[in-house]
Structure formats: structure tokens, C-alpha cells
Structure 1
Amino acid sequence: MSRSETKGKGKATSTKILIGGFVMLTIAMGIGRFSYTSILPFMQSQINLSITEAGYLAAINNLGYLVAAFCASLMTSGARKSTHLQVHLVLCILTTGLMGATSSFFLWVILRFIAGLSSGFIFVLASSLVLDALLADKREKRIGVFYGGVGFGIALSGLLIPLFSLHSWRGAWIGLLVVSIILAAIIWRFIQEPKKQHSSLNASDKKFFVKETNLFPYLLIVYGLEGLGYIVSATFLVSYVKQVPNMEFFSDYSWIIVGVAAVPSTIFWSWCMGKMGYVKPLIFALILQAIGVILPVLIPNIFGVTLGSILFGGTFMGISMLAITAARALKPTNGNQAIALMTGFFGTGQILGPIGAGFVMDTTKSYSVSLALATLVLVIAVIVMIMGSVMSNCKNLMNV
């Protein structure tokens, strides 16, 4: 086989893995995790699910996500990622659909925990799998396409949930089960591991490797704060908009806008990463996200909610992509563990966010205070990232 044929075959394989990863994130994250945001208002109105209970369900899902991250960090590089991904994809789909088969809060807690566990494994392992495949073929700039799967899943579920839930909230969960099964069947054979290839560190990775001990701790803190700050809006945005005077009709659209904005955002932030490195785009994205979270509170009308949803949707997956890719570059010989550790910090923030927000909302009877506090957390994340870049003497890194 000629060199060009080998190269073409390698690209075809990495393309299949990229498509498979995109759809896995659509199912595990866009549907398995974030569809809860759109279904929550229906559960609150039809079965009187309290804000505190809603917060606990979100938190237990994030706890499963956190446990998965730390478990994934213990997996050896020789473990078959594709097999684990297939098992957890089935678990994620089943536990999503079973939410509509019971009214027991106790069973919901178990199901959301398992769903969080499976989605966490899928995110970490699929990220590692796709990054390995793209790096081996020197196509790492395509990583933005992979993370766009989350936004696609959010937009897809946001469009379908109002249709599936016409008669009952149960229809939303069961309808998403059917959609997820169809999507999984399409890409099932694409879940494969790339051929082992030796890949040397490029100039960007070498510079990150030198700065590893200085910048990585700051990156962990920032990503943990991001998990704490963003999850409040990700959990309660639709519920907040639904209770704004004259805005109830727009609540479902707000989450669809988030998903639509998220799909191309990762490609944009990937382009920024190629031009400016990781740090500058990460700081800029955090600032825009903070504005996006508070904007619906400051301007509680269609304009404020729409712009806020665009800024939020256009940054939350971009931030994850930038942070995860940076972490892998900082730990080039231990990428799987680096991604898992980052996801663990992120997951810790996601657990604390919904519980804290739920208590604040029950006390103040307002979503606005919780959204304002979430904005403050994101502002702190910006400050920490700036401090980290200065303290780590990252001038060369910021211009990679």
C-alpha cells in the first residue's frame, strides 16, 4: 500500500471516530444530561417537583459524572476504550428513557446517578479517543467539530421535547429514548480505537510541557469554578424564563437557542485556539459567559434572554474544549488522566451548584439571586485564569 493510500485510510478512520464521538456526545451530554433542563418545567408543573428536589436530581447526576471522571483516571492506557464506550452508551440511553417509566423520586435519584456516571465515562473516554485519532493524523484542528455534538444534542432535544411532552412529561423521556437508540445504531460501528501510532510533541505541546507544573493547578481551579458557575444557568434557565412576566411562551426557545449557538461555537473557539493559543480565548470566553448568565436577569425580555442564551450557548462548550485540550497538551504523556482530573474538578463544581442554587431559590423565592451568584463565580474564574497566566509567565504560551 502506498504512503498516500495509507494516509487516506488513516483519515477515513479518524473521520469515522470523529463522527462517532460527535454522536456519542449528542446522546450522552446533549440528551442524557442536558435534556433535563427542558423537561424540568413540565415535571414541576405536572407532578409538583420542588426546586430543592430538582436541584438534588441535578446534583446527583453531576455526582455520577464526578465519580466517572475519577474512575476513568484509573483506567490504564491499554484498556479498550471502545468497549467501555459502548457499554456506557447503552446505560446512558436506558437510564434516560426509564425516567419516564416511574414517578418514584428515589428511583429518579438512582437513574440520574447512573446517567451521570455513564455520561462522564463517555465524555472522558470519547474525548481521549477522538483527540488521539485526530492528533495521530495531524487533524487536531477538527476537535471543535467533536465538541459541537453537545450543542447539537441540546438543540435537538429542545426542539423535540415540546412535541414529545404534549400529553405528559413521561413522553419527553421516552421519546428521547427512541431518538437515542436510532442515533446509537447509526454510529455503533464507528466506535473503534485508532491504530497505535507514535506521535512526537509539536512546538505547542513542548511549550505546554515546560509550563506544566505552573499553569495546570490554575487550570484545574478555573475549570472547577466554571462547573460551579455555568451549571446554575444550565439547570434553571428554562424554569427562570418561564416565570418571567410575559415570557413563558419563550422558555423552550431559550434552551433551543443555547443549543444552536453551541454547535458552531466549538469550531469558532478552535479557530481562536489555533490563532492565539489556549489562555486568551479561555479568558475571553469566560467573560462572555458571565455576561450571558446575568443578562436575562438584567434585561428580562426577549432581547435579554435571546442574547444571554446566545452568549451562554456560544461559550460553555468552547470553554470545555479549550480547557480539556489545554490539559492534554500540558500532560502530553498522560492525556487520559489529565482529562479525567479536569472533569473531576468540573464535576465537583457541578454538584455544589444546583444544591446551593436550590437552597437560595427556596429561601429568596427568586432565580435571579442564584444567577447573580453564578455570575460572580465566573468572574472569579476569570481573575484566577489571569493570575495563572501572569504567575506562570505564559507570554510564549498565550501566543502559541
Structure 2
Amino acid sequence: MTNSDPMILNAKKAIISGFVMLMIAMGIGRFSYTSILPLMESQAHLSVSNAGYLAASNNLGYLIAAFGAGFITWGSRKAYHLRIQLALCIVSTGLMGVTTSFSIWMALRFLSGISSGLIFVLSSSFILDVLISAKCEKWAGIFYGGVGAGIALTGVVVPILNNFTWRGTWIGLLIISVILILPVWSLIRDDNNLASFQDPKPNNPSMEKKTHLFRWLLVTYGLEGLGYIVSATFLVAMVKQMPNASYFADYSWVVVGLAAVPSTVFWSRLAGKIGYIKPLSMALILQVIGVIMPVLVPNVVGVTVGSILFGGTFMGISMLALAAVRIMRPSSGNQAIALMTGFFGVGQILGPVGAGIVLDVTHSYELSLILATLVLVLALSLLIIGAAVSNRKSFIRTFQ
């Protein structure tokens, strides 16, 4: 195929539209809350525990959507449903600035979680269909870079929008989302002429045999959801309280986003060379360092290094873990991914609630991040143990 081939052109258009959809659904609809949280705490008098409940409400909506999307038959109208969910995501984000009712905030964050979860799942299916048909699967890493780009964007614009108070910040994000989606709205359309394709066959036969590693990965991924979400929720608020780095708080989220943009391409290429488990272990090690770094080195250097390591791993870990179980369970990949998403989602709900309670009692972001780090260390330990046990069982079976 040449660059002028219609399938290649469709793939390029799909990448652009998918990139923007993830910017809006994940970067703005889901993760902009991290940047706005300090302002809501100071101006809207949002308590730390209630901040945790709002994050948990969003994560619950995301869990229900991402877990349930795999069991819904969307037929040939994925683009139609994507447009509905994009509208819901944008509106539910903007309405956060219209009310001061905590119960309505909870409902709006829940709806935002529902829409962002459905957009993530539907856009992944929608874009990957096009890429597979055009034999451009390697571009998938660029598509997922939209999450990091959205995070970086909110990190840049939220401090500017803060001049219009917390209300104006939420409403401003609605306006920015509309500006982003309008140029690609016409690109979000179903193509019924896409070539049919089969589920991807495992390109790593040894991995396919390690089905007993699945339960270890399941628990590891659940703990990852619990550990990473604490930093993803409270990083900016914590840096705001650092005497030597408070001015850098908003920029720390920009760094997270910029590091996340190329990370999916890097981790996918590495997995193509050495498999999925080794890169997953490496990413977890780097994330452990990234989460604890602002606590160990509470200045701009520590926050910057921590933000780079965190941003460069959280999307990669999800991609690597889900790809690994897809290969392990070639005949039941969708169910396996749904189960993984469920464990991950439960962790994401428990993390902010638990951290919020700890913060209310101790008034210390540091302790919450230390506990989150210990959870991630446990996740890494279980992955290493599981891989060792799996290799041992595979070795014994070869000689039986």
C-alpha cells in the first residue's frame, strides 16, 4: 500500500479523530479534575474526603462503562454512539461549573465517567478496526497518545482559566472541548466497507501457554488501579502545598501529560522485541519511583522526575497488561479484558476514597503517596512471583 491508498488515508483520518476523542474523554473529561481540585478546595470549600468521593464517583462510572461495553452489541453504529457519548462528556464537564451542590457534582462526575469509559472502549474498537484493515496496527500507540496530550493541554489551560474562578474553569473546558471536536466531527463515521478481520493471533506462543499467569496479572492490575489513581488524583494538590515547589504545581500535570504522549509507542515497541511481562515489570518499577519521588525529594527536581516517570508509565502499564492477557486467552480475550478492567476499576474507586480519609485524619499527602507506593510494590512483587511460578510450571510440563 502507498500513502495515497484510500485505506491509508482512512487510517490517518481515524488516527486524528481518535486522538482528539481521547484528548476530550480522558484528558479533559476524566483527568482535568486533578488540575482543578486545588481551586475547588480553596474557592468552593471542597473537603479532601469529598474530593476523594468525587474522584471515586467518576471512577465508578468509568468502571461500569468500560466493563459493560464489552457485553453490548454495538453493531455498525459505533460512530453514532461515539457522538452521543462525546456530547455527554463535554456537557457533564461544563455543568460542573454551574452548580455548588455536592450531590449534583457526584452525579455529573459519574456521568462523565460513564461517557469517558464508553468513548475509550468504543473509540479503541472503532479506530483499531480501521488500522487493522489498513494493516497499520503499529499506529495504535499514536492513537493512545491522545490521553497524554489531553492531560498536557489541561495542565496548560487550567491555570489560565483559573482567572475566571473554578466555575469559569469548568465552563472554559467545555468551550475548548467543542473547539477541539468540531474539526473532526465529520470524520467520526462508520465505514461499512471495512475489510473483515480475525481476532489477532498470538505472536508469542510461549506466552499463550502461560494461562496460569492470568490470575497473578489480575491481582497485579487491580493493585495498579488502586496505587496509581492516588497520584493521578492528588499530585497537583500535594505540590501546591510544597514550599519549594508550589509555583510548579500546575506545570507538574503538564509534564505528566507530555511524558504520557510518546509512552504508548515506546512500550509497545519494547513489548514487540522482548514480550510483555518484562516491560510491564520495568514500567511498574519506574512508576513506584515516580510516585514516591515527590515525597523523597520535595522540590521541583523531585516533582519533575516523579511526573515524568508517572506520566511515562501509567498508560503503558494498562496497554501491556491488557495485551498480555489478550494473548494468554486467545479464545476468551474480551471476557479476560473485561475482568481485568473490573479489578482495575475497583482499585480506582477504593484509592481516592481511602486516600481522602487518610488525608482528613493526618492532613498529609505524603502518607497517602507512601501507602500508594507500597500498594504498587506489592503489585510488582506479585507479578514477579507469578512470572517465576509460571516459568517453573512451564519448565516442568515440558519434561512430563
TM-score strictly above 0.5: yes
- The aligned counterpart of 1:89 is 86
The answer to whether the 8 A contact 1:125-1:336 is kept is no
2:363 aligns with: 365
Output the TM-score relative to the length of structure 2. 0.92
Paired-residue identity, %: 60
Pairing partner for 2:187 from 183, 190, 195: 190
CA separation of 1:392/1:8 partners in 2, compared to 1, >3 Å: closer, same or farther? farther
Describe the superposition over 1:107-144 as per-residue Cα deviations: whole angstroms up to 9, x where unpaired.
10000000001111111222233333333333222221
One-letter code aligned to 1:190: L
Shift of 1:368: 0.6
What are the within-5 Å matches in structure 2 for residues 297-376 of structure 1? Answer: 297-376=295-374
Distance 2:99 2:107 in 1: 12
Q: What per-residue deviation string (whole Å, max 9, x for no partner) do you get for residues 301-326 of structure 1?
A: 11111111111111111112212333
User: Is 2:27 the partner of 1:38?
Assistant: no
Residue 198 of structure 2 aligns with which residue?
A: 199
More displaced stretch, 238-247 vs 36-45: 238-247
Backbone CA RMSD of aligned residues: 2.2
TM-score by length of 1: 0.92
Which amino acid counterpart does residue 319 of structure 1 have in structure 2? I
Give 1:202 deviation, angstroms.
4.1
1:277 aligned to 256, 275, 278, which one? 275
* CA distance in structure 1 between the aligned counterparts of 2:151 and 2:183, rounded to whole angstroms: 19
Change (3 A) 1:220 1:188: farther
**Contact map agreement 2:52 2:355 (CA 8 A) in 1:** yes
Structure 1 residue 342 displacement after superposition: 2.6
Alpha-carbon distance between aligned partners in 1 of 2:174 and 2:199, rounded to the nearest angstrom: 42
> Mean Cα displacement is larger for which, 290-299 or 123-132?
123-132
In structure 1, distance between residues paired with 2:66 and 2:200:
25
Q: Which amino acid aligns with 1:364?
A: T
CA contact (8 A) 1:64 1:113 kept: yes
Shift of residue 79, structure 1, vs aligned partner: 5.8
Distance 2:139 2:104 in 1: 39
1:6/1:290 CA distance change after superposition, 3 Å: closer
Distance 1:310 1:347 in 2: 24
- Give 2:284's aligned residue: 286
Q: Distance in 2 between matches of 1:92 and 1:209?
A: 37
Structural mapping, 1:166-245, within 5 Å: 166-193=163-190, 195-199=194-198, 201-204=200-203, 207-211=206-210, 213-245=211-243
Aligned residue pairs total 392
Counterpart CA distance in 2 for 1:347 and 1:200 is: 25
Bigger Cα displacement from structure 2, 375-384 vs 79-88: 79-88
Aligned to 1:381: 379
Relative distance call for 1:332 and 1:26 in structure 2 (3 A) is: farther
Structure 2: distance between partners of 1:183 and 1:328? 33
Asked whether the 8 Å contact 1:69–1:341 carries over to 2, the reply is no
CA distance in 2, matches of 1:292, 1:226: 13
Structure 2 contact 3–9 (Cα < 8 Å) conserved: no
Task: Give the match's secondary structure for 1:204.
Answer: coil
Equivalent position to 1:73, from 62, 70, 75: 70
Distance change in 2, residues 1:323/1:76 (3 Å): same
SS in 1 for 2:313: helix
The alpha-carbon distance between structure 1 residues 395 and 78, as it changes in their structure 2 partners (threshold 3 A), is farther
Could you tell me which amino acid in structure 2 is paired with residue 30 of structure 1? G
Q: Confirm or deny that 1:154 pairs with 2:155.
A: no
**1:69 shift after superposition:** 1.9
Measured in 2, the distance between the counterparts of 1:382 and 1:176 equals 36
Corresponding position: 1:52 with 2:70: no
Q: Aligned-pair distance for 1:338?
A: 4.0
Residue 207 of structure 2 contacts residue 328 of structure 2 at CA under 8 Å; is this kept in 1?
A: yes
CA contact 2:52–2:352 (8 Å) conserved in 1 = yes
Q: Distance in 1 between matches of 2:163 and 2:50?
A: 23
CA shift at 1:83, angstroms? Answer: 2.2
Shift of 1:280: 0.8
Q: Deviations over 1:350-391 (max 9, x none)?
A: 000000000111111101111001001111111121222223
2:162 to 161, 165, 179: 165
The worse-fitting range, judged by mean Cα deviation, of 65-74 and 301-310 is 65-74
Question: Would the alpha carbon gap of residues 332 and 10 (structure 1) be closer, same or farther in structure 2, given more than 3 Å must change?
Answer: farther
1:78 alignment partner, SS class: coil
**Mean Cα displacement is larger for which, 362-371 or 319-328?**
319-328
Shift of 1:103: 1.0
Mapped contact 1:136–1:199 kept (Cα < 8 A): no
